[in-house]
Amino acid sequence: MQLTINGEKKEVSAATLAGLLVELDYRGDWLATARNGEIVPRDLRSECRLDEGDRIEILSPMQGG
Amino acid sequence: MLELYGKTLSSRLLLGTAQYPSPAIMAEAIRASRTEIVTVSLRRETAGAGSGGGFWSLIRSLNVDVLPNTAGCHSVKEAVTTARMARELFATNWIKLEVIGNPDTLQPDVFGLVEAARILSDEGFEVFPYTTDDLIVAERLLEAGCRVLMPWCAPIGSARGPSNPDALRSLRGYFPDTPLIVDAGLGRPSHAAIVMELGYDAVLLNTAVAKAGDPVRMASAFADAVDAGHAAHEAGLLEPRDMAVPSTPIFGKAVLT
């Protein structure tokens, strides 16, 4: 199915958000995730089913002021 | 000592982590600033890069507390969701709340700011709102649950210094027991000293240090200025007057005419 991940359209096969992170090689325990504008906490990623057209944001710590 | 949401601090300087020439210089500047709190952000991670991990492990090695921000958020929803993500990622209830209302001035949307502050305070966040120097907005933010206020003194990154000292003085006078931190617009250590002399509890800055010719030395200069301004306020500053007053006693002066 096609999702928008961090603003880019991608064809993926994972059924859950946890699976998506593995499929796309997002590593580390410093990631925060959102689906369609709502936070998906770490513990709920494996239960978070993905649907065609979902907008996924995958964030990490960055420099800030 | 300064207390922010129950945390006791000896440094009155909060420092941003953006725009440094290198991570090593950033780390050295943070150490030189003697700060105990640095601001951090959340941005999109690149697949396979792990870029956030390197930055995060460097910050963790510096033995400072982190104050995550919602920089770049232009709506309540965006800011609230970013705050929730930051809480999970950084494992802190602290959030520097920014709801930007104007892209040119980066002036806060104070109406959205109050709304977001209320939502987040109700969820147990300890909100550090980046706000204007408006007294009534400050009142609303306190009513919304904020226990710290962070008024700007000039637009972010402008280095203009306190452009409305009267408004800052007024805020200080009306909220004597609320920690007030000037956030944004400081360009020089003397600017930091001025707001600390006004009785502010702390300053938060980034660009003036990160973009200095020598960020490490500038961080140290700001730390000294903050300490000097705070000490001066505590010591009791002389009120200015219009006319001269001789500082040398008249009594005992020789008559030589």
| Strand order from edge to edge, sheet including B150-151 | B94-97, B126-131, B150-151
- Within an 8 Å CB–CB cutoff, is residue A14 touching chain B? no
Q: Which residues of B are catalytic?
A: 96
Question: According to the model, what pLDDT value does residue A41 have?
Answer: 96
C-alpha B30, offset from chain centre: 15
Put simply, the answer to whether A64 touches B207 (Cβ < 8 Å) is no
- In this prediction, residue B52 carries a pLDDT of 79
pLDDT of residue B51: 76
CB atoms within 10 A of CB B70: 25
User: pLDDT tens for residues B78-114?
Assistant: 999 999 999 999 999 999 999 999 999 999 999 999 9
Q: Rounded distance, CA B180 to CA A62, Å?
A: 26
Cβ neighbours of B11 (radius 10 Å) = 18
Amino acid at site A35: R
Tens digits of residue pLDDT in B186-223:
999 999 999 999 999 999 999 999 999 999 999 999 99
Q: Tell me what the mean pLDDT of segment B132-138 comes to.
A: 97
Report chain B residues whose CB lies below 8 A from the CB of A57: 44
Structure tokens at B50: 């792990």
Length of chain B, in residues = 257
Roughly what angle, to the nearest 10 degrees, separates helices B76-90 and B110-122?
Answer: 40
Q: Cα separation of B155 and A19, whole Å?
A: 43
B-chain CB neighbours of A60 within 8 Å are 42-45, 51-53, 56, 89
Tell me whether A43 touches chain B (CB under 8 Å).
no
Burial of B164 (0-12, 13-18, 19+ CB in 10 A): middle
Model confidence at B47, in pLDDT bands (50, 70, 90)?
Answer: confident
Residue B249 has pLDDT above 80, yes or no: yes
* pLDDT at A29 (0 to 100): 86
Per-residue confidence (pLDDT) for residue B256, from 0 to 100: 93
CA dist., res. B2 & res. B19, Å (int): 27
Facing residue for A31 by CB, picked from B18, B39, B45: B45
Chain B residue nearest residue A56, CA to CA: B44
Q: DSSP strand E in B196-242: where?
A: 202-205
Three-class DSSP category at B21 = coil
Q: What is the pLDDT of residue B49?
A: 76
Residues of A in contact with B26 (CB under 8 A): 63
Average pLDDT taken over every residue of chain B: 96
Dihedral over alpha carbons B236, B240, B246, B247 (to 10 degrees) = 20
Q: Is the ipTM of this complex over 0.90?
A: yes
By percentage, how much of chain B surpasses pLDDT 90?
A: 94
| B157 is annotated as contributing to ligand binding | yes
For chain A of 65 residues, list the mean pLDDT of each consecutive stretch of 10.
96 96 91 96 96 96 95
Query: A33 φ, ψ to 5°?
Result: -130, 150
Q: pLDDT (tens digit, 9 = 90+) per residue, B107-134? A: 999 999 999 999 999 999 999 999 999 9
CA B193 to chain centre: 13
Closest by Cα among B179, B174, B180 to B152 = B180
| Distance, CA of B49 to chain centre | 32
Tokens of A32: 């925060």
Q: Are strands A8-11 and B2-4 parallel, antiparallel or unpaired?
A: unpaired
